[in-house]
Amino acid sequence: MESIIVVERKEIPQGFTLINGLPDVGLVGVLAVSHLVSSLEMEEVGSIESEALPPLVVLHKGLPKPPMRIFFKESLAAIVSETAVPSDAVYGLADAVVKWAVSKKVKMVISVGGMAVQNRQNIEKPKVFAALTDESLIEILGHSAEVLQEGYMVGPYALILKKCLDSRISAVTLLAQSFYNYPDPEAAAAVLESLERITGVTLDVSELLQKGEEIRLKAKDIMRRTQEEMSKMSKSQEYEVPPLYM
């Protein structure tokens, strides 16, 4: 397995809340956390590097950037990826992120994503669900998300949640009802409202809704590549029901 390392280009103080926005169902995490980063004007402080990731850089304002970057402001850090996570890199990525979170004495890890529903186009306001490492987090969630009681999770967020549990880090995965393979800015807006409740940060999500069509077109290519990787990791298993009730 290729090694994956977290590179801090600027000093990041310990004890922050870490928010993950990785490409997944409906690109909800990427759209939501990108919006968070730009709204809060978070500073780019590091990146995640590996030969397991595609050999590419992203150009922003003429400068080459790693596709998976870390942003920071006050007590919040955010990881956002502008490239699909290869299915082969999922274990290594989850391991690297959680080990880094442990080393930084992170208060809580919040992963943001989507949960595919077949009738999405008939849903006015996507509901948000949450998977938690411990029940004490239910109070923090309030009515902003419904706790997932049974089911499968597949992909990087599933492993991050489990590794956080193993490492005794509080972790929440917020999943908004979304399209499976179409970028879903409305779902991103819905999940950000739950994130506001947990972090106390206030965000204006109107841009996500007003520029929804444009955002969907811009995100088309990364959505297509993400879909290919989701297929490789049997993401559709999330639709299935676990056989054991224990």
Partner 1 sequence: MPEPRRRRAFDIESDLARRRDEAFGSGWDEVTSSIEPLSNITVGVEEITITLDVPFVDQKQVRVQVHGKDILEVYAKTKRTVRFDDLGIKHRSGEFTCYRALVNLPEHVDGARATHHLKRGILEIRLPKLR
| Residues at the site binding partner 1, with contacts judged by CB under 8 A | 59, 120-122, 179-183, 186, 212-214, 216-218, 220-221, 223-224, 227
Residue with tokens 């080393």: 103
Q: Give the nearest distance from C-beta 182 to partner 1 in angstroms.
A: 4
Q: Give the nearest distance from C-beta 56 to partner 1 in angstroms.
A: 12
List, in sequence order, every beta strand (DSSP E) within the chain: 4-8, 17-21, 43-50, 58-60, 63-65, 68-73, 76-81, 108-116, 128-132, 146-147, 170-178
**Which residues fall within 8 angstroms of residue 135, CB to CB, at 6 or more apart?**
none
Question: 94: which 2 tokens?
Answer: 């989850």
**Under 8 Å between Cβ of 20 and 110:** yes
**Under 8 Å between Cβ of 73 and 40:** yes
Q: Give the nearest distance from C-beta 85 to partner 1 in angstroms.
A: 18
Minimum CB distance to partner 1 smaller for 220 or for 232: 220
Question: 186: which 2 tokens?
Answer: 């409305």
Minimum CB distance to partner 1 smaller for 8 or for 221: 221
Minimum CB distance to partner 1 smaller for 124 or for 150: 124
Q: Give the nearest distance from C-beta 38 to partner 1 in angstroms.
A: 13
Q: Give the nearest distance from C-beta 27 to partner 1 in angstroms.
A: 11
Minimum CB distance to partner 1 smaller for 52 or for 58: 58
Minimum CB distance to partner 1 smaller for 105 or for 224: 224
Q: Which amino acid is at 3?
A: S
Q: Is 245 left (phi over 0), alpha (psi -120 to 50) or beta?
A: beta
Minimum CB distance to partner 1 smaller for 35 or for 120: 120
Q: Give the nearest distance from C-beta 39 to partner 1 in angstroms.
A: 17
In degrees, rounded to 5, the angle at the alpha carbon of residue 20 between the alpha carbons of residues 181 and 114 is: 30
